[in-house]
Amino acid sequence: MKIFSGIQPTGAKHLGNYIGAIRQYVELQEEGDPAIYCIVDLHAVTVPWDPATLRRNVHDTTAILLAAGLDPGRCILFRQSDVREHSELTWLLSGLTAHGDLNRMHQFKEKSAKQRELISAGLFFYPVLMAADVLAYKADTVPVGEDQLQHVELMREIARRFNERFGDILVEPQHRIPEVGARIMDLQNPANKMATTGGTQQGTVLVLDEPEVVTRKIKSAVTDSGSEVTRDGEGKEGIANLIDVIAVAKGQTPDQVESEFEGSGYGDFKSAVAEAVVEFLAPVRERYEELRPDEKALEDALSGGAEKARAIASETLAEVRSAMGIGPG
């Protein structure tokens, strides 16, 4: 199984990122042949950005991934912009991508609605670059959150369209979503996904938050007026979210959580969730503090991964160029 997934270097990583993506990355590095993980700094320039902050965020993200358990000796971890084949393949695939398909992308509509000044063409073109990221490695498995399903379907369509015209070169990838925790919601607004941009500060638990901050945020989570710890029933979105969170943190199923806390009140349940999350995140936060100061080591890890990634992507690009009639025959 060849695995590829990309992670944004924008903002601090939160609990939803960790549960829905990073934790999967660590588990799948044992299954991937290879498992390829990319910090997508090119995607980050589709919305307003600051150059110094972007570079700092790349290092922050690298340190968090390594602290969580990614091992550059067992996976390929690299910075997207270090492998220029991503950019060239994006342009080549643009000739096989329908404008109407891009116009239907939910994330473009959501993000463009929030832009007060420039709505960049890059934001519109984002899904083609995402397709190139995956198709360059002929990955068959893409760990993603539920909000990325539309993008995965588009990359499958692009691969089909290419193969029908030029021969079977590209692989149609399948998404992989965790059974529990694929969509962690904002603790103050459980109708919305947890996010560092557009979410509430109090409702977003950051991976690097101090234990007392994590505890305060979870204990103040919005719930309903009842007291039953269950996912069933109207208005239970907040409690259902906390059930998913503690289930992942303790390695249980949501049903087991409901059974364990049957008859408990929300106060006791929130305290248990907070304790479990603090324990869950502590090793990552502590390891991050050790790794983050050594930026040379972080750069060495990224450049070593880029060399491995480039070796794979360049072969795919050579096949694509030849099939499309680009360059000398």
DSSP one-letter string for 88-101: HHHHHHHTTS-HHH
Nearest in space to 256 (alpha carbons), one of 185, 266, 234, 248: 248
- Cα separation, 267 vs 289, whole angstroms: 32
- DSSP one-letter code for 184: P
Quote the mean pLDDT of the chain.
Answer: 93
Q: In what order do the strands lie in the sheet with 174-176?
A: 76-79, 35-39, 3-7, 141-143, 174-176
Q: CA-to-CA distance for 163 and 116, rounded, in angstroms?
A: 40
- For residue 263, what pLDDT band results from cuts at 50, 70 and 90? confident
Over range 41-60, report the average pLDDT: 94
308 CB neighbour count, 10 Å cutoff: 17
pLDDT tens, position by position, 223-253: 988 889 999 888 899 999 999 999 999 999 9
At residue 142, the pLDDT reads 94
pLDDT value at residue 182: 82
Q: For the domain 3-182+294-324, what is the CATH code?
A: 3.40.50.620
Flag whether pLDDT at 159 surpasses 90: yes
Per-residue model confidence (pLDDT) at position 89 = 98
pLDDT more than 70, % of the chain: 99
Mean pLDDT of 319-327: 97
Which of the four pLDDT bands, split at 50, 70 and 90, describes residue 259?
Answer: very high
59 has a pLDDT exceeding 80: yes
Torsions phi, psi for 39 (to 5 deg): -90, 110
What average pLDDT score do residues 165-171 get? 97
* Position 165 confidence tier, pLDDT thresholds 50, 70, 90: very high
What superfamily in CATH does domain 211-289 come from? Tyrosyl-Transfer RNA Synthetase (1.10.240.10)
325 vs 108 pLDDT, higher one? 325
Is pLDDT at 152 greater than 90 in this prediction? yes
pTM for this prediction: 0.93
pLDDT at 226: 84
Across 82-96, 98-112, 261-275, least confident range: 98-112
Average pLDDT over residues 74-79: 97
Residue 59 in 3-state DSSP?
A: helix
Distance CA 93, CA 165 (A): 12
Are the CB atoms for 248 and 23 separated by under 8 Å?
Answer: yes
pLDDT per residue over 102-127, tens digit each? 988 887 777 777 777 788 888 899 99
Mean pLDDT value of segment 171-193: 91
pLDDT of 12 reads 86
Backbone angles phi, psi at 101, to 5 degrees: -65, -45
Domain segments of the chain as ranges: 3-182+294-324, 211-289
Looking at residue 223, its pLDDT comes to: 93
* Residue environment code for 14-48, b if the CB has 16+ CB neighbours within 10 A, otherwise e: bbbbbbbbbbbbbebbeebebbbbbbbbbbbebbe
Q: Is the predicted pLDDT of residue 198 greater than 80, yes or no? A: no
For 275-314, the pLDDT digits (tens) are 999 999 999 999 999 999 999 999 999 999 999 999 999 9
pLDDT of residue 233: 82
CA–CA dist 106, 113 (Å, integer)? 11
Average pLDDT of the segment spanning 264-270: 93
Given pLDDT bands bounded at 50, 70 and 90, which one contains residue 97?
Answer: very high
